Amino acid sequence: MSRTRIKICGLTRVEDTQLACDLGADAIGLNFYPGSKRFLTLEQARRIRASIPAFVSAVGLFVNPERSEVESVLEALHLDCLQFHGDESPGFCRSFALPYMKVIRVREGLDIKEEISKYSDSSAILLDSYDKNAFGGTGLRFDWEVARRCVQDKLARIVLAGGLRADNVAAAIAQVQPYAVDVSSGVESAPGVKDTQCLKAFFDEVNRV
């Protein structure tokens, strides 16, 4: 099994971003969804983006945005990848000439294979828990067996999210063998505020597998 990459999402503070990068984060998630407690203004995002070193990707998270919203962010700062967490069409996702990652919220009755096939040109597919009241960052987990089958069937590069913490991420990786793991609330002391010890423990567990 190859090395499991790590994305830390929902960062709102420069010091947390720097720590995550120092610990070995492969990607940092910047949240531009106004309905999120981890939403960043452009000024906040600029400061955080400036603290991300070379070889760490900056990922912009959007939920059902207007085209102008994405374009205004891209005009203000450089992003390496876009992450779409809503009901965006494949055409919309690919229209910004940047690599993109599509989030699929796993729920009963959803044909995962069919849904993934719609976004065949995505850089990765992020599987997250479904919550009718929130788009990610809920701390809820779904049945990892669904993700394992997606990896086994080589449907896409699978990024595993949803309810991951230091005490379960090693088991998740062992079962699913994902391309990457994505964590937000599982390493926080409050929404958008990362806990130093939780972050360190999370990286230790991923690197241990």
**Residues 6 or more apart from 181 whose CB is under 8 A from it?**
4, 5, 6, 7, 159, 160, 161, 164, 169, 172, 173, 206
Options 21, 128, 150, 182, the catalytic residue = 128
For residue 5, give the 3-state DSSP assignment: strand
Q: Judge whether 182 and 159 are in contact, CB under 8 Å.
A: yes
Residue 99 to residue 76: CA distance in whole angstroms: 18
Query: What is the DSSP annotation of 32-98?
Result: --TTSTT---HHHHHHHHHT--TT-EEEEEESS--HHHHHHHHHHS--SEEEE-SS--HHHHHTTSS
Candidates 22, 32, 98, 101; CA nearest to 55 is 22
Tokens, residue 144 = 């990892």
Q: Judge whether 129 and 141 are in contact, CB under 8 Å.
A: yes
Tokens, residue 193 = 């505020």
Options 9, 21, 81, 150, the catalytic residue = 9
21 in active site: no
For residue 26, give the 3-state DSSP assignment: coil
List the Cα angle 57/69/188 in 5-degree steps. 50
80 in active site: no
Active site positions, annotated: 9, 128
